[in-house]
Amino acid sequence: MSTEARNPPPQIALKIRRLLGGKAGWNGVAIQFAFAAILGWIGYEIVSNARANLENQHIAAGFGFLRNNAGFDVNQTLISYTGSDTFLRVFMVGLLNTLVVSVVGIIFATLIGFIVALCRLSPNWLLSRVGEIYIEIIRNLPVLFQILFWYLAVLAALPNPRQSISLLGIAFISNRGLVIPSPIGGSGLQPFLAMLALGVVASLALRFYARRALFQEGRMIRIWPTVLGMLVGLPLATMLVFGLPFTFELPQLKGFNFAGGSRIIPEFVALTLALSTYTAAFIAEIVRAGILSVHKGQMEAGASLGLSRGATLRLVVVPQAMRVIVPPLTNQYLNLTKNSSLAVAIGYPDLVSVFAGTSLSQTGQAIEIIAMTMGIYLLISLLTSAIMSVYGWRVSRSLGA
Amino acid sequence: MKRVTLTLTLALAAGLSAKAADAQTLKTVKDRGMLSCGVSQGLPGFSSPDDKGNWTGLDVDVCRAIAGAVFNDPTKVKYVPLSAKDRFTALQSGEIDVLSRNTTWTISRDTSLGANFTGVTYYDGQGFMVKKSLKVNSALELNSASVCVQTGTTTEQNLADYFKANNMKYEVIAFGTNDETVKAYEAGRCDVFTTDQSGLYANRLKLANPNDHMVLPEIISKEPLGPMVRHGDDQWFDIVKWTLFAMVTAEELGVTSKNIDEKAKLENPELKRVLGTDGNFGEQLGLTKDWVVRIVKAVGNYGEVFDRNVGAGSPLAINRGLNNLWNKGGLQYAPPIR
C-alpha cells in the first residue's frame, strides 16, 4: 500500500483562467482579447491618420529633428550646453531643470508642511493660530499668482549687480541671483572623496551592528565617537597627506555681471519658494489629519510607559500616522512636480519652457514634442508614486499591519 | 458587444472626419461669415487692442483688407491673440485662416511647418535696447550682459549667433509673452531687451520712462515680416498674396481711400484694370471684380496703412526706409495686375 501523498488537482489552468477572464471564465478571455485588439486598432488608426494628414500638409514629422542644432541658449544648465548642441540635449537640460526644482521643492514643502502641522496641533494658542492663518491664506490663492508675486517681490527687493549686497566679500546677492564661490577640484580631491565614502559605508555598517546588538541581545553600544572620527577624522587626515581637496573660485564683478563662482538664478529661487510654500499648506493639513487619526489612547499609553511627549510622538504616534499620511502626500508631490511647469511665466528654463515651448516653435513638430513631454511627465509621476508606495509598504510592514 | 460596436463607430467617425480636414479656406471663411485672423497679444503699431477692445495696427489692417476683399466689410474679422510659440500650431490646426503676427519669413518656417508666407508687409531687423544709464553705445560693448528675449522667436537664435560670432558671453532669460519680457527688463532682471527694431520702438512706449532707454544702432539680422497661410490651398494663398500686392499697387498708382471714387472714373487703362472696371482678375481669384476698390476702401493703400500705424502719423514715427516703394528707394514692389 502506497503512502505517497495524493497530488493536488491541477489548478494551473484554473488559475490562468481566473487571471485572464475573471469569473466569466474563457468567455471573458475572448472578450478581453477582442477589446485589446480594438484598442490597438484605434491607436494604430490615430497614429497612421495623423501621419497621413501631416504628410498631406507637408508638415515635417518624425524624431529626426532631435539631432538638429538647437541654436538658442539656456540660462540654467546642470550639464554643459551651448547653442550648437542638439534638441535632444535641450530636452535633457530642461528635464534636469524640472527635476531639480521639483526635488528641492518637495524637500522644502515637506519640511515646512510638517512644521506648520505641528504648529497647528500645538497647545500654544498663538502658534496654532499662526499655522491656521498660513494654511488658509496660502492654499486659497492660485499658485501662478504666487509664483509671479515671489518673482516680482524677489526682483524688486534686490539691487542691480553693481550695488549688490556683499556677504563677507565672498558671496553676492543682486537681482541677477545669488553668486557663491565655486569649488575647483585640487590634487587631494580623489583620496578625499574615497575616504569620505569609506567613512560613510563603515558608519552605516557600524550602526547596523549596534542596532542588532540592541534588539537581539539588549546591549547598548555607543557608536557616535567612532562615527565622528571616521566621517571627519579620516578625510582630514587625507587632506594633511595629499593636500587640499579643492580651492574656491571667488566671484568678481566684470562688466555687467559677476564672472566666476556659481550662481543661483532668481527665477529658481522664486519658483522653489512659491511651489514649496504653496504645497506645504496642503501637506500641513494632511499631516495634521494623519496625526489626529491616531487614537489619543496611544499618547496616553506612551505617557504611562514614562516616555516624554516628544518621544511618544516620534516613536508611537508618527509611525502610525505615516500610514494615513503617505498616500495623499504622494499626490502633493506629484502636484508640485506638475505645477513646476508654470515656470514658463517667469522665464525659468524648465522642460515645458525650453522643450515644449522654444523647441516646439523652432521646429514646429508639435505632436512629437508634446508626446515626448507628456511621456516624461507621466514617467516622473509613476516613478514618484512607485517610490512612495514602496515607502508606504515598508511603513505598514514595520507596524506589523 | 454593444460597447464594442460603439467604439468602432466612434473610431471610424474620428478617422473619416480627420481625413476630410484639408478644406477650401475661402469657402470655410464665407460659410462662417467671419475671417479668423491670428495676431499678437499686443504690440503697438502692429496689432494691439485699444481700451474698447478694437484691434488696430499694420498686421490688423492686413486682416481687415482680406475681410474687405471677401465680405466688403472689414469688421468681419475674429482676432485670435497668439503668443510667439503658439502661433504656428494655431495655423496648422485650422483655428485661424491667416496668421498676421509680425512673423519672420525663414526657409525652415516656409518648408517644415506646412505653411507658406504670402509676402512681406514690413522689412525689419533685430536690434537691442538698453538703459541710457548703462552708458553703452554699441552692441559690441555688451559682453557679459543679461538679455531678456521672448521665447520661440528667430530673435532668440540670432542672439545666440551674434554673441558667438563676436566672441562675447551673455546670459539669456526667455519669457513666454512679450509683456512678461518687457516687465522683467523694466524690473532690472536684464541689461538688454532684444527683438525686432520696430518692436523695440513699440515696446519703449510701454515703459514708465521711455526716454531713459535707447535703441542701439546695430541691426544684427534680416527680419522680413509677413502673413502666413496653410500649405495646400493655392486659391487662399493667392487671395492673401494679392491683397498685399493690391495695397502696394494702389500706392504706386496714387489711389487712396479718399480719392478712389474719382480715380475709378478716369479713362486710364491701368487704373481701369486695377479697379475692376476692365477685366475680371478679381473673379479669377475667387473674389469680385471690384476687389481692389474694396481693399482700398477698407484700409487704404500700403502707404496710408504704414503711416497710420507705425509711420509719421503714429506715436512710433518710424521712417519708411526699406518699406518705401521700390521707385522711392525702398523694397516694396508688386507684380503687375494685368
* Residue A50 grid coordinates: 495623423
- Give pLDDT tens digits for B311-324: 988 888 888 989 99
Q: Is B23 on the interface with A (CB under 8 A)?
A: no
Q: Which of A38, A59, A349 sits opposite B92 (nearest CB)?
A: A59
Are B109 and A364 in contact (CB < 8 Å)? yes
Chain B partners within 8 Å of A175 (Cβ) = 187-189
Are A364 and B187 in contact (CB < 8 Å)? no
| pLDDT (mean) for B2-30 | 54
Using CA coordinates, name the residue in chain B closest to A346.
Answer: B175
Helices (H) and strands (E) in chain B, counts: 14, 14
Q: Which of B7, B189, B231 sits opposite A57 (nearest CB)?
A: B231
Using CA coordinates, name the residue in chain A closest to B191.
Answer: A256
Query: For residue A73, what pLDDT is reported?
Result: 86
CA distance B87 to A285: 42
Query: For residue B104, what pLDDT is reported?
Result: 92
A97-129 burial, b for 16+ CB within 10 Å, e for fewer?
bbbbbbeebbebbbebbbebbbbbbeeeeeeee
β-strand partners of A111: none
pLDDT band at B20 (very low <50, low <70, confident <90, very high): very low
| H or E element in which residue A92 lies | helix A87-121
Are B85 and A358 in contact (CB < 8 Å)? yes
Q: Is B209 on the interface with A (CB under 8 A)?
A: no
- Give pLDDT tens digits for B281-314: 999 999 999 999 999 999 999 999 999 999 988 8
- Give pLDDT tens digits for A344-376: 888 899 999 899 888 888 888 888 899 999 999
**Which residues, at least 6 apart from A136, have a Cβ–Cβ distance to it below 8 Å?**
none
Query: For residue B18, what pLDDT is reported?
Result: 41
Are A73 and B84 in contact (CB < 8 Å)? no
Q: Report yes or no for ipTM above 0.85.
A: no
Return the number of CB contacts < 8 Å for A and B.
157
Higher pLDDT, A25 or B251: B251
- Give pLDDT tens digits for A283-308: 999 999 998 999 889 888 988 998 88
Q: Which of B7, B114, B175 sits opposite A347 (nearest CB)?
A: B175
Q: Which of B22, B134, B172 sits opposite A73 (nearest CB)?
A: B172
Lowest-confidence pick of A245-259, A310-324, B202-216: A245-259
What percent of chain B has pLDDT above 90? 59
What percent of chain A has pLDDT above 70? 93
CA distance B37 to B57: 13
Chain B partners within 8 Å of A344 (Cβ) = 151, 175-176
- Give pLDDT tens digits for A94-116: 999 999 999 999 999 999 999 99
Mutate to test the interface with A, among B8, B12, B113, B233 (most CBs of A within 10 A): B113
Query: For residue A164, what pLDDT is reported?
Result: 77
Is the pLDDT score of B64 beyond 90? yes
Cα of A102 to nearest chain B Cα, Å: 20
CA distance B102 to B200: 13
Are B11 and A42 in contact (CB < 8 Å)? yes
| H or E element in which residue A397 lies | helix A366-398
- Give pLDDT tens digits for A218-251: 777 777 788 888 778 877 777 777 777 777 777 7
The owner of cell 473610431 is B11
- Give pLDDT tens digits for B156-209: 889 999 998 999 988 899 888 888 899 889 888 899 999 999 889 889 888 888
Is the pLDDT score of A24 beyond 70? no
CA distance B150 to A151: 17
Contact present, A66 and A91 (Cβ < 8 Å): yes
Higher pLDDT, B251 or B175: B251
Q: Is B156 on the interface with A (CB under 8 A)?
A: yes
- Give pLDDT tens digits for B75-92: 999 999 998 878 998 998
Cα of A383 to nearest chain B Cα, Å: 29
As a whole number of Å, the CA-based R_g of chain A is 28
CA distance B170 to B172: 7
Chain B partners within 8 Å of A73 (Cβ) = 159-160, 170, 172
Query: For residue A5, what pLDDT is reported?
Result: 67
- Give pLDDT tens digits for B190-199: 999 999 998 8
pTM of the model: 0.77
pLDDT band at A400 (very low <50, low <70, confident <90, very high): low
Mutate to test the interface with B, among A358, A360, A365, A373 (most CBs of B within 10 A): A358
- Listing DSSP states for B151-184 in one string gives TTSHHHHHHHHHHHHTT--EEEEEESSHHHHHHH
Query: For residue B7, what pLDDT is reported?
Result: 40
Mutate to test the interface with A, among B101, B103, B171 (most CBs of A within 10 A): B171
Are B156 and A358 in contact (CB < 8 Å)? yes
Chain B partners within 8 Å of A155 (Cβ) = 184, 187-189
Q: Is B166 on the interface with A (CB under 8 A)?
A: no
- HEC readout, A72-91: CCCCCCCCCCCCCCEHHHHH
- Give pLDDT tens digits for B95-144: 999 999 999 999 989 988 889 999 999 999 999 999 998 888 898 989 88
Is the pLDDT score of B3 beyond 50? no
Is the pLDDT score of A1 beyond 60? no
Are B92 and A75 in contact (CB < 8 Å)? no
Is the pLDDT score of A26 beyond 80? no
Average pLDDT score over chain B: 88
CA distance B2 to B13: 17
Are A347 and B152 in contact (CB < 8 Å)? no
| H or E element in which residue B216 lies | none
A351-383 burial, b for 16+ CB within 10 Å, e for fewer?
bbbbbbbbbbbbbbbbbbbeebbeebbeebbee
Sign of the C-alpha dihedral computed for residues B306, B309, B311 and B316 taken in this order: negative
Pairing relation of β-strands A171-174 and A165-167?
antiparallel
Is the pLDDT score of B254 beyond 70? yes
Query: For residue B19, what pLDDT is reported?
Result: 37
Q: Which of B4, B19, B180 sits opposite A34 (nearest CB)?
A: B4
Q: Is B9 on the interface with A (CB under 8 A)?
A: no
Q: Is B94 on the interface with A (CB under 8 A)?
A: no
Amino acid sitting at position A333: Y
